Amino acid sequence: MNRTLLIVDDNEDVRQQLKWGLSSEPYTLVFAQGVEEALEKFREHSPQAVTLDLGLPPRTEDASQGFKCLEELRRISPTAKIIVITGFDSREYARRAVDLGAYDFFLKPIDLDELKVMIRRAFHLFEIEQERPARKSAAPRAVHPAGMIGDSTPMREVLAHIEKVAASDVPVLIQGESGTGKELVARAIHELSPRKSGPMVCINCGAVPENLIESEFFGHERGSFTGAVSTVRGKVEYADNGLLFLDEIGELPANLQVKLLRFLQEMVFQRVGGRKNLEVNVRVVAATNIDIQEAMRNGSFREDLFYRIGVVSLKLPPLRERGKDVILLAEHFLRKHHEGTGSAVSGFTQDALDALSSHSWPGNVRELENTVRRAMVMSNSTTISAADLGLTPECPSDLGSPIPANATLKEARSLVEKQMVEAALGRSGGNILKAAEALGISRPTFYDLLRKHGIAL
């Protein structure tokens, strides 16, 4: 494949620097100075990779011309890998570029060696994607990378974001309640990334004793403290050329936050008790179940560390907001644990399905898996009942007033229907799609019910 690189920058010195610096690379170089010329050259040469300066003329504080060019390039060819190069040292610019489909971003001043590596990865990923067979159907899938299960609207949004961020090396912060599957998301990002052949190394920042956590991260030299009888590599070294997953990063002690920040800025560290600088190449994905904004306000989490690890932030929905995914997951866990439990159970009764759907699942996916596994052991039948689950079908706790004793059946149905619509709206924060899905109805039907009951948005 003939590799063509389009360089979009209005600065003649930068263009000459890149022309000279990339002359030894096996690329055909094409140059453009502004938006219109960039689009013209892009259509003419169909480059597989682009470097795009956000500060294109006419210059504005919000880099509108650069983002306009990015959107147009993505519209013409969604598969081309666009590396945004910017002098705007802003996390918001980087996040916006990635959200618009940029492969990666690079802050000026340009380091040619680092940029060369990024461009090579971009071409490599483009070629891998071209080798994949085209998808035969655009129908939504229920099973996704890393064994993720889900077909609800919130999970489709999460999966779309995973596919976007996986291709780049940007740091990602995954936020969500305990048990929502944050590590699974990190693993999916790794499996879809160019680093997938490298290791994925996990550190639970809240599970390691504070006096040992620095050694857990960076390793230690022999004799550096009592009991250090040999030199030990840390998790950071083991993650070289792969992904480092920092689970529960909100629990990290303040002194380690400073050292982690320094490491993330330079990718250089020293073992405990050592003096030699060691360098690694890792991608960092972090996760937390705490309110990170509140932690920054009360001073327990450094704001500069948040900006470093949270270039892109993914928010995982709790299970109670995932509608029909509850049943998909329950059936998945039934199949998963069938052999391990020696159970003859092959399905769920209708009252079990009703109970699964109506339960609020405060422990999220982890609670659901444990509930299904326990029920498989306890069931005396080939099907699991609500009693086996330890659940009974519930009425939503956020419904309004009780039905009047003298109400007709028609009036009672209408009142319950209205209350359920209002409750679904409340739980979804006014999101029509989520509310409709939670009730198992289509969006047009939901709008009909709003009109029928005079419910204002």
> How much is the pLDDT for 436?
79
Ranges of the chain whose pLDDT falls below 70: 1, 88-91, 129, 131-146, 339-343, 392-410, 412, 426, 429, 457
> How much is the pLDDT for 268?
92
CA distance linking residue 8 with residue 6, whole number of Å: 6
> How much is the pLDDT for 134?
40
CA distance linking residue 372 with residue 162, whole number of Å: 28
> How much is the pLDDT for 96?
80
Q: Name residue 191's amino acid.
A: E
Q: How far is CA 241 from the centre of its chain?
A: 20
CATH topology assigned to domain 319-389: Helicase, Ruva Protein; domain 3 (1.10.8)
> How much is the pLDDT for 212?
86
> How much is the pLDDT for 169?
87
Q: Name residue 123's amino acid.
A: F
CA distance linking residue 362 with residue 321, whole number of Å: 11
Q: What is the pLDDT of residues 445-456, one digit of tens each?
A: 777 788 888 887
Q: Name residue 90's amino acid.
A: S
CA atoms within 13 A on the CB side of 217: 30
Domain ranges of the chain: 4-131, 146-315, 319-389, 409-453
Which phi and psi (to 5°) does residue 245 adopt? -105, 115
Find the Cα–Cα–Cα–Cα dihedral 372, 375, 376, 377, rounded to 10°: 130
Q: What is the pLDDT of residues 280-327, one digit of tens each?
A: 999 999 999 999 999 999 999 999 999 999 889 999 999 999 988 999
> How much is the pLDDT for 137?
37
287: which DSSP letter?
E
Helix (H, G, I), strand (E, B) or coil at 295: helix
CATH topology assigned to domain 146-315: Rossmann fold (3.40.50)
186: tokens are 């990190």
> Would you say the CATH fold of 409-453 matches that of 319-389?
no
**409-453 classified as CATH 1.10.10:** yes
Sequence-distant (6+) residues with CB within 8 A of 291 are none
> How much is the pLDDT for 136?
35
Cβ neighbours around 255 below 10 Å, total: 11
Q: State which H helix or E strand residue 186 sits in.
A: helix 182-191
Residue 369 vs residues 79, 144, 265, 326, 365: alpha-carbon distances, Å:
38, 18, 39, 10, 6
Are 86 and 93 in contact by the 8 Å Cβ rule? The answer is: yes
411 phi-psi bin (left φ>0, alpha ψ -120 to 50, beta other): alpha
Quickly tell me which residue has 């994925």 as its tokens.
Answer: 200
The answer to whether the Cα torsion of 153, 157, 162, 164 is positive or negative is positive
> How much is the pLDDT for 457?
64
The helices-and-strands tally (H runs, E runs) of the chain is: 20, 16
Name 84's bridge partners.
Answer: 52, 105
- What CATH superfamily classification does 4-131 receive? Response regulator (3.40.50.2300)
213: tokens are 């956590």
